[in-house]
Structure 1
Amino acid sequence: MDVRPKLVVPLELLNEKDARTLFNKIARIGDKSTAFGELPAHIVEKCDGLPMSLVTTAKVLKGRSRLVWQDTYQKFEMQTMAGTPEHSTRVIYNLLENEELRITFLLCACMDNDALVSNLVKACIGLGFLRGIYKMRDTRTRV
């Protein structure tokens, strides 16, 4: 049994400047980026200074086209949950490229935050959703 104390770090809301800096750094866009216009600023505003929302949204948008950014912003506009971790999670889920990634994402969400990769591998094998993978080593690599 693991008896290590869990480290809980409370995070406060970020002010607008810090939120933009964090978002831009993770999304790998410059402060003066003209490729996306005002979209980054609008998306940051919708994240309401929540670090988790900022980080997850920036990670999923990193390297994506302007059209994906615009679509994401429009989804933020339509959602009443904008700025909540649940909304960011939904945005990420919807942008995942294939069904394997979506199922793996959902499995991770169901597991404890201390879960081991080996547990995820076992779940993937048990559910049999990784097509063409029959060896533990190959499953671990794919996961």
Structure 2
Amino acid sequence: MGCDKTFTIGTLTKQESWALFKEHVGMNVENSIISSIAREITTECDGLPIAIVTVARALKNRGMYEWRDALQQLKRSTSTNIEGMHENVISSLELSYNFLESEAKSVFLFCSVFPEDFVIPVEVLVRYGTGLRWFKDLGTIEDIRVRTHAIVSNLISSFLLIGEEFGEEYGEKSIKMHVVRDVPHIIAPKHNHTFLVKAGINLKEWPERDIFEDLMCISLMFNDIKEVPDVIECPKLQSLLLQQNSELVVPNNFFQGMKNLGVLDLSETQLSPLLESLSFLVNLRTLYLMVANWVTYL
């Protein structure tokens, strides 16, 4: 920001941490049987406001055993190195993630596949979520839209996402993933979700990787990739996001090894004529082919 001076902001004191925790947990923990556990949990957050708030929101209205389990999780969490992020923040955010319902977990993890600071329209999540079958018990797009908005609101209130009430470009409710964007990439492999995310980093070539068979999502959107491999074997791949690689040329057999693909975004790439190998994608439910101001999706 070009500041003349840099000021170091310290962590909260024990008293300040306890006051912040009580404010967000929504329970009278001070005079309850879980008071001692709550204080230990607050101590584990190490005076870090984002850790305190996310843990407090996650434990709101939970039972005794869930509080005890949360304390055990925080105490036994192993440190993971992310530059500029305290390890206690990571462990507290992972704890908050563990308390989410399965559908909310899917939405949260998927928000990490977009470029850093990207404004994500909730409607995009609706369409992608339809293709990925996050909501198997819902039959209509409107039902899925209502559920998605409800989940997003919950994630915002849990401080796992930031709400952007109206994205100017889309004229609708949008969200952002804040400083925790790298945390989902740590969490995902622990729950059998393997992502390859290199979005919006001016990538010029298809990334090198020994194997692609374990990947569930590839996100290379907003780059400058011009060529992709002729064929790659991705039997578990569910989403492939290649939009806005404007000069990308896709060979005709590229999709042959992606028979479980449910979401494909090829907006603003060179696709003329439409590829014959799209016929291999028998499980495809969402296809984006956006050019300029119009979009086609299935």
TM range, smaller chain = 0.7 to 0.9
Could you tell me whether the CA contact under 8 Å between 1:27 and 1:62 is conserved in 2?
yes
> How many pairs are equivalent?
133
**Structure 1 residue 62: Cα displacement:** 0.4
For 2:106, the equivalent position in structure 1 comes to: 103
Partner secondary structure for residue 38 of structure 1: helix
**Structure 1 residue 50: Cα displacement:** 1.0
Tell me which protein shows more helix as a share of its residues. Answer: 1
CA distance 1:110–1:19, shift in 2 (3 Å):
farther
CA distance 1:25–1:83, shift in 2 (3 Å):
farther
* Counterpart amino acid of residue 101 in structure 1: A
* Counterpart amino acid of residue 57 in structure 2: K
1:65 aligns with 2:69: no
CA distance 1:129–1:33, shift in 2 (3 Å):
same
1:130 aligns with 2:135: yes
Which whole-Å CA distance do the structure 1 matches of 2:77 and 2:121 have between them?
A: 34
| TM-score after normalising by structure 2 | 0.41
For 1:119, the equivalent position in structure 2 comes to: 124
Alignment of 1:1-143 (within 5 A): 12-30=10-28, 32-81=30-79, 84-97=88-101, 99-111=102-114, 112=117, 114-143=119-148
Which whole-Å CA distance do the structure 1 matches of 2:127 and 2:9 have between them?
A: 33
Partner secondary structure for residue 84 of structure 1: helix
The higher-RCO structure (CA 8 Å, 6+ apart) is: 1
Partner secondary structure for residue 108 of structure 2: helix
CA distance 1:31–1:62, shift in 2 (3 Å):
closer
Partner secondary structure for residue 32 of structure 1: helix
CA distance 1:36–1:66, shift in 2 (3 Å):
same
Structure 2 spans left out of the alignment, 5+ residues: 1-7, 80-85, 149-298
Aligned alpha-carbon RMSD (Å): 2.3
Which whole-Å CA distance do the structure 2 matches of 1:113 and 1:43 have between them?
A: 33
Could you tell me whether the CA contact under 8 Å between 1:50 and 1:83 is conserved in 2?
no
Partner secondary structure for residue 30 of structure 2: coil
| TM-score after normalising by structure 1 | 0.80
What are the Cα deviations for residues 83-133 of structure 1, in whole angstroms up to 9, with x where unaligned?
622212211222223x22221221234445621211211220121221133
- Among the aligned pairs, what percent are the same residue? 28
